[in-house]
Amino acid sequence: MISRSPSSPEENEPVHQVSAASNPSLPDLPGTNSQDPLAPGELLSTNAMSDSHVKTPEAQNATRRESPSLTLPHQPASSPDSLIPVRMLNEFTYCPRLGYLEFVQGEWAENIETMQGTFGHRHVDKPDRKKFASPASKSRSSKTKVDAQDTSDEKIHARSITLSSEQEGIVAKLDVLEIDGTRVTPVDYKRGYVPEIPAGAYDPERVQICAQGLILRENGYDCSEGVIYYISSKRRVTIPFDDELITLTRRQISQFKTTAASGNCPPPLEDSPKCPRCSLVGICLPDETNLFLHQLQQNTTPSADTKECLDNEQESKTQLRPIVRVGLRKLLPAKHNALPLYVQNQGAIIGKSGERITIKVKGEEIASVRLLDVSQVCVYGNVMFSAQAISELTSRGIPICHLSYGGWFHSLTSGLVHKNVELRIHQYAIAANPDSSLKIARQLIAGKIKNCRTLLRRHLAESKHPVLKQLAEYYRRARIAGSAETLLGLEGMAAKEYFSELFKLFPSHPDFRVSDRNRRPPRDPVNAVLSFVYSLLTKELTVTLQAVGFDPMLGVFHCPRYGRPSLALDLAEEFRPLIADSVTLMAFNNGEVGPDSFIQRAGAVTMTDAGRRSVIAAFERRLETEITHPIFGYKVCYRRILEVQARLLARHMLGELSTYPNFLTR
Ligand code: SF4
């Protein structure tokens, strides 16, 4: 059965589940299976965390001894040999940060405007077979895909021609060329209407068409003007290539090359009306990034504030907590349109039919879902895929998460790795540097302890409970921990105190008795669910980090180990109490899981199919829960928050933000 609306836990999960139990007027923009080699608990790092989970200074030094210091090449996009696509020159003129994100970091995202643009170009993007004469220029130095075979005098229209200019350092795919002998006029198709401005077009479009003209000139053509065709207006606007426009175009090319070679992403625009229309707004996070940049400029350094969090009033005055920006523009949708598809029918075959993903069991189709509505496919145990389904999913950037029958997340099938090489270069450099790694790890572990304290504060009857004071002290010390070993010790002590109180909040049913955190395998139902949900959270963050451009296998706190997504485990720390522990508590206290949801075997506890299904539904509901962001002040769901935090981590690793701003709830 497939369902996707909230409210009833059993009937209306905001996920696609298939289970055995259910048989289920600005310019255009451009787990628990003891037989598994590694149980879900392996992905955990709570009070049972061992030294092997954390980069101790000795381990870091050993790593450094084994591998010499990392020498980092500069990003290839900044090479002087790189030709800049004139489409990206348009983006750079619109916003330098946009040009950098697309050209250097390889970022791309669709929005309604880019989709309308693609639709408007559907005819001119198809190359035609017309042949036409090229000028007999002996000085031509650039390469062209155009054959010079026709010498007729008739005016010719040619579509989708790729030409380059090595002298200018640019390359372009020209929509249409109107050719009259050696005189040519490039015609660029734009969605939308003709802007009511004297120049007839905005600078990004004028620069783009002029750059096309410069390419044509270098290829020996006589080109003195270009045409922008506005599809909605069905009108042509002629753009003369005068000295002023040529100077502007060459200046933009030069500035773009300098910016790309600098390796520094330009800052976001301030309160710009361009941002809401920008397809990269969810990647750039302009207002959110500016908020942190301004705050970091105004605040003292975080380590200077060491007396916070001793009680609620003092906590609210902490300097590390950014000022809530009431009225911050909400440029991100609160939720994603697509959701995960879970399949746990053993022997099911996932295929593709048209624009839908189908699930068949013993030849009978039991469910199908539109590809558009799927963000990831998660399969438990023996579920098979057709070649067509794998090809379609990976080419659309929809990852396939493979989990064991017991819930161990062990593999990921995806398309090519993200183009953002620059981010991974910085990630590897930070992972190789103990000080830089510790700085991030302190934020993550302090955030985890603080969020654990917040969860307990919400549930404990006594507002002055000793455990709250103790966790506040661990939080304070974690933020200034001088080594990874100290941080590990603080995290372990905080986890012990936290779980001893958390377990008292579970129902007092004899079947649910729990005394301590245990795993590999879990020995009671509460720990079985905790391990399973931690595995789900790790899976979610692995997918998110990979989509942002990270290598999820290399972390800053958890040691790299074969097959373990260490960075996902790192980022999961601050979300364990908010998402995983909270889901587990609700699942038991709401009766979503009961004694029938578990199987006990030789001291180990595992979940039934129905039990897993209920927990997955609870987990997905939690991710879709909208909360008011404690810093940005707008409503956003937890799944989006995971993505935002991953992007903020990227901003820190790339040097844009001096501190990773952890996610703390009130
Ligand atoms: S969101 Fe705004 S600042 Fe960011 S790239 Fe787009 S236009 Fe530039």
Q: Is the pTM of this model over 0.85?
A: no
- How far apart are the CA of 640 and the centre of ligand 1, in A? 19
- How far apart are the CA of 593 and the centre of ligand 1, in A? 45
Tell me the CB-side half-sphere exposure of residue 467, using CA atoms within 13 A.
24
- Which of the residue ranges 242-246, 311-315, 516-520, 616-620 would you say has the lowest mean pLDDT? 311-315
- How far apart are the CA of 267 and the centre of ligand 1, in A? 9
Q: Which residues contact 313 (CB under 8 A, 6 or more apart)?
A: none
Nearest CA to ligand 1 atom 5: 98
Alpha helices in 480-634 (DSSP H): 484-502, 525-548, 566-572, 582-589, 609-624
Domain with CATH 3.90.320 in the chain: 77-262
Q: Which of 259, 278, 283, 291 to mutate to test the pocket of ligand 1 (most atoms within 8 A of CB)?
A: 278
| Percent of the chain scoring above 90 in pLDDT | 54
User: Residue 197 carries which DSSP code?
Assistant: S
Point out the ligand 1 atom lying closest to the alpha carbon of residue 272: 2
Instruction: Report the alpha-carbon distance of residue 558 to residue 285 in Å, rounded.
Output: 28
Instruction: Report the alpha-carbon distance of residue 496 to residue 476 in Å, rounded.
Output: 17
Instruction: Report the alpha-carbon distance of residue 637 to residue 629 in Å, rounded.
Output: 9
Residue 241: its pLDDT value, please? Answer: 96
350 three-state secondary structure: strand
Complete DSSP assignment for 102-134: HHTS------HHHHHHHHHTTTTTS-----BPP
- Residue length, the chain? 666
Residue 664 has pLDDT above 50, yes or no: yes
Residue whose entry in the numeric block shows the structure tokens 């009961």: 594
Mean pLDDT of 183-203: 92
Residue whose entry in the numeric block shows the structure tokens 């400029």: 297
Instruction: Report the alpha-carbon distance of residue 568 to residue 108 in Å, rounded.
Output: 23
Structure tokens at 213: 């003209």
- How far apart are the CA of 30 and the centre of ligand 1, in A? 12
- Judge contact between 102 and 89, C-beta under 8 A: no
- How far apart are the CA of 113 and the centre of ligand 1, in A? 14
Residue 531 has pLDDT above 50, yes or no: yes
112: confidence class by pLDDT, cuts 50, 70, 90: confident
Nearest CA to ligand 1 atom 7: 275
Structure tokens at 658: 């001096």
User: What are residue 148's DSSP bridge partners?
Assistant: 132
CATH T-level topology, domain 77-262: Lambda Exonuclease; Chain A (3.90.320)
402: confidence class by pLDDT, cuts 50, 70, 90: very high
305: confidence class by pLDDT, cuts 50, 70, 90: very low
* Cα separation values, 119 from 115, 340, 604, Å: 6, 28, 57
State how far Cα 396 lies from the chain centre: 15
- How far apart are the CA of 96 and the centre of ligand 1, in A? 8
Pick the CATH number of 40-56+419-653 from 1.10.3720.10, 1.20.1440.230, 1.20.120.920, 1.20.810.10: 1.20.120.920
Mean pLDDT of 112-116: 78
Structure tokens at 178: 């109107």
Instruction: Report the alpha-carbon distance of residue 238 to residue 227 in Å, rounded.
Output: 4
Residue whose entry in the numeric block shows the structure tokens 């450099």: 429
Q: Which of 284, 293, 644, 651 to mutate to test the pocket of ligand 1 (most atoms within 8 A of CB)?
A: 284
- How far apart are the CA of 659 and the centre of ligand 1, in A? 22
Buried b (16+ CB within 10 A) or exposed e, 102-112: bbbbbbeeebe
**Mean pLDDT across the chain:** 80
Domain with CATH 1.20.120.920 in the chain: 40-56+419-653
Q: Which of 79-88, 299-308, 393-402 has the highest mean pLDDT?
A: 393-402
One-letter identity of residue 514: V
Instruction: Report the alpha-carbon distance of residue 647 to residue 640 in Å, rounded.
Output: 11
Residue 37 has pLDDT above 70, yes or no: no
Nearest CA to ligand 1 atom 2: 275
Residue 297: its pLDDT value, please? Answer: 64
- How far apart are the CA of 88 and the centre of ligand 1, in A? 13
Residue 326: its pLDDT value, please? Answer: 54
Instruction: Report the alpha-carbon distance of residue 574 to residue 169 in Å, rounded.
Output: 46
Q: Which of 97, 100, 102, 651 to mutate to test the pocket of ligand 1 (most atoms within 8 A of CB)?
A: 97
Mean pLDDT of 15-34: 42
What residues flank ligand 1, with Cβ below 6 Å?
95, 97-98, 101, 268-269, 272, 274-275, 278, 280-281, 284, 286
Residue 128: its pLDDT value, please? Answer: 66
Q: Give the 3-state DSSP-derived string for 429-461, with helices as H, strands as E and coil as C.
A: HHHCCHHHHHHHHHHHHHHHHHHHHHHHHHHCC
One-letter identity of residue 175: D
Residue 17 has pLDDT above 60, yes or no: no
Q: Which of 112-116, 173-177, 508-512, 578-582 has the highest mean pLDDT?
A: 578-582
Residue 388: its pLDDT value, please? Answer: 96
Structure tokens at 509: 């049913």
Mean pLDDT of 65-82: 48
